[in-house]
Structure 1
Amino acid sequence: MIKTICYTSLYAEHISAFNLEMLFHKTRLFNNKHNIKGVLVAKNNRFFQILEGPETILDNLYLSIKKDSRHHQINEVLNTHITSYSFENFGTGYNTIKRVESLFGLQSYLNSPTINNIDNASLFLTTTENFFK
């Protein structure tokens, strides 16, 4: 069974740009290895992440995220079972967005007829747009 978890958080101000890039790199490698799809958006010391994947792996990952001292004020937006991936065809299946210009690709993808889970797509789109305001 697969599920999706979506959350926002604040990341520690002391994290350097280099450490942030290393975090993005390690996140992408782990997620691709474990068939986790989604997107990580970073802006003004804030993260917005959408994760989709096998239930057990995703639950364990989310527990470790909540314990990670590099960020705090985690606000869970969505945590539910899904019947199919929404982000399977989004780039490599897991992407990092760091600039508002890159958001247009995500918006186009979420509005496209190829997305599998249209109910979650509208929630993801609204949350992502609010995140960048």
Structure 2
Amino acid sequence: MVYQLVYVSAAQDGSVNTTIEDILEKSRENNERTQITGMLMAHDGNFFQVLEGDEAAVAACYERIQQDERHKDPIILMTKHVDTRSFPQWSMGYASPEDLSDEHRDIIISLTGLIDNLEAQFESTSPEISVLAGSFVRSFRDFGLA
């Protein structure tokens, strides 16, 4: 079984353009070593990332992300075990919403559907989570992805 973790965070300085290359370079190096695959999307000052691999390795990776000053307020949206990786060739793929293939777009659409279903729960536990998740989902809808 493969462990998947999906999270969102905000860019510390509000702009993903200044940090994305550094994040990708370091992520790819670390992820190849620990056999983590995944996909990172950045849009409108926010990051959306899927990490997948061994549960302990993914948890350690997410812990590093939480300590990374380039990420502000990372929030886990989903964790689950799956039979196969969604991004097997990507040590850390990067795409803007308009760059996604149909297959990966379908994955994102299903994840945004999950977020929609959880919004009521987010609102009851944390208004900040609701705003962040809702904002990111709307950014996908702006590109016709959801």
- Report sequence identity in percent: 24
Aligned residues: 120
Q: Which amino acid aligns with 1:101?
A: E
In structure 2, relative to structure 1, the CA distance for the partners of 1:95 and 1:82 (3 Å cut) is same
What residue is the counterpart of 1:45 in the other structure?
Answer: 45
Deviations 1:65-118 (A, max 9, x none): 1122211122211112222212115xx453111x33313x2xx12378xxxxxx
Task: Choose 55-64 or 28-37, whichever is displaced more.
Answer: 28-37
Offset at residue 122 of structure 1 (A): 5.4
Query: Following TM superposition, by how much is the alpha carbon of 1:27 offset from its aligned partner in structure 2, in angstroms?
Result: 0.9
What pairs with 1:22-37 in structure 2 (closer than 5 Å)? Answer: 22-37=22-37
> What's the counterpart of residue 111 of structure 2?
124
Runs of 5+ consecutive residues of structure 1 not aligned to the other structure? 113-119
Once residues 57 and 66 of structure 1 are traced to their aligned partners in structure 2, the CA distance between those partners, rounded to angstroms, is 14
Structure 2 regions of 5+ residues with no counterpart?
A: 116-135
| Cα distance change, pair 16–61 in 1 and its aligned pair in 2 (3 A) | closer
CA-CA distance at 1:15 after TM superposition? 6.6
Given the superposition, is the C-alpha separation of residues 35 and 130 from structure 1 closer, same or farther in structure 2, using an over 3 Å criterion?
A: farther
TM-score (norm 1): 0.72
Indicate the residue corresponding to 2:8 in structure 1.
8
1:7–1:14 Cα change, 3 Å? closer
Higher strand share: 1
Shift of 1:16: 7.8
Q: 1:96 matched to which residue of 2?
A: 94
Structure 1 residues 16 and 62: CA distance shift in structure 2, 3 A: closer
Does the Cα contact within 8 Å between 1:86 and 1:121 map onto a contact in 2?
no
Match of 2:79 in 1: 79
Contact 1:110–1:125 (8 Å) recurs in 2: no
| TM-score for both structures, normalised by structure 2 | 0.67
What is the root-mean-square deviation of aligned Cα atoms in Å?
2.8
> Residue in 1 aligned with 2:68?
68
